[in-house]
């Protein structure tokens, strides 16, 4: 089964993906991680994406699509994959459907994490990320054992540029304009969960029971 996670930036897609990886042995593909890896390796696609990410904007469709296709083909990840952060637009969604069909695969279900904007804004402005392993912390709800230092590798914790207040506003606006139309595109494949009514354990159980995974 292939799953797509949809929701506002900071809605919990990464946290839920960790559970799917651990409990259901699925593979997690985060476009954020893909971008960072390509940027660190100074690939052409990575350098092209860098200027958009640093200003809090979404990367243009053709760059993102090529990066995802390259990743899936090289690793032969046509099944049991969690899509996190891709597709972000209807054009990307159409490209993904076509690509998967060409390779005898498909996107089975779309999990929409419904959450209030004020909650994600508060999460993002307090988010910290390990400079090495990319583990995510929150100053208020998931603080590291030692201030400013990752629990796992002792590396420095940073605030991502796209989590700065001015860039959070841009990301939310772009999401509303470009990504929210996916709810209509994926209408028949959508599984909606309002996270405001659940803690993380209840949320996970609701999804597992609803999708029978």
**Which domain does 92 fall in, by range?**
3-115+176-211
The answer as to whether 182 is a domain residue is yes
Would you say 97 and 26 are in contact if contact means Cβ atoms under 8 Å apart? no
Asked whether the predicted pLDDT for residue 14 surpasses 90, the reply is: no
> What percent of the chain has pLDDT above 70?
98
Predicted local confidence at residue 53, as pLDDT: 78
Active site residue 123: no
- What pLDDT does 196 receive? 64
Among candidate residues 44, 74, 106, 127, the one labeled active-site is 127
Short-list 9, 20, 17, 7, CA closest to 213: 20
- Taking residues 137-162, what's their average pLDDT? 94
Does residue 26 lie in a domain region? yes
**CA gap 113, 6 in Å, rounded:** 6
Arithmetic mean of pLDDT, 2-24: 90
Query: How many other CB atoms are there within 10 angstroms of residue 45's CB atom?
Result: 19
The verdict on residue 156 lying in a domain is no
Distances (CA, A) of 55 to 58, 71, 168, 196: 9, 24, 10, 30
Our count of domains for the chain comes to: 1
- The pLDDT mean for the chain works out to 91
| Residue 183 maps to a domain | yes
H or E element at residue 7: strand 3-7
Q: Is 189 among the catalytic positions?
A: no
Q: Among 19-28, 120-129, 198-207, whose mean pLDDT is lowest?
A: 198-207
Looking at residue 45, which CATH number applies to its domain? 3.40.50.300
Catalytic residue among 25, 57, 74, 88: 88
Query: Any residues with CB less than 8 A from the CB of 34 and at least 6 apart, and which?
Result: 67, 68, 71
Q: Is 129 among the domain residues?
A: no
Catalytic residue among 36, 44, 171, 212: 171
């Amino acid at each position: 089964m292939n799953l797509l996670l949809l929701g506002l930036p900071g809605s919990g897609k990464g946290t839920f993906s960790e559970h799917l990886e651990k409990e259901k042995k699925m593979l997690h593909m985060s476009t954020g991680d893909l971008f960072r890896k390509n940027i660190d390796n100074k690939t052409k696609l990575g350098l092209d994406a860098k200027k958009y990410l640093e200003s809090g904007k979404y990367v243009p469709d053709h760059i993102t699509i090529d990066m995802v296709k390259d990743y899936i083909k090289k690793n032969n990840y046509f099944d049991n994959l969690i899509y996190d952060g891709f597709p972000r637009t209807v054009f990307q969604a159409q490209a993904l459907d076509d690509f998967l069909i060409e390779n005898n695969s498909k996107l089975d279900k779309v999990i929409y994490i419904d959450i209030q904007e004020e909650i994600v804004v508060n999460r993002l402005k307090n988010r910290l990320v390990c400079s090495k392993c990319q583990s995510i912390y929150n100053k208020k709800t998931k603080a590291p054992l030692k201030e400013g230092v990752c629990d796992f590798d002792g590396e420095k914790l940073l605030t991502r540029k796209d989590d700065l207040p001015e860039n959070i506003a841009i990301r939310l606006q772009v999401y509303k304009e470009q990504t929210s139309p996916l709810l209509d595109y994926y209408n028949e494949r959508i599984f909606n969960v309002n996270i405001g009514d659940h803690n993380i354990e209840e949320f996970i159980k609701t999804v597992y029971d609803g999708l029978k995974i």
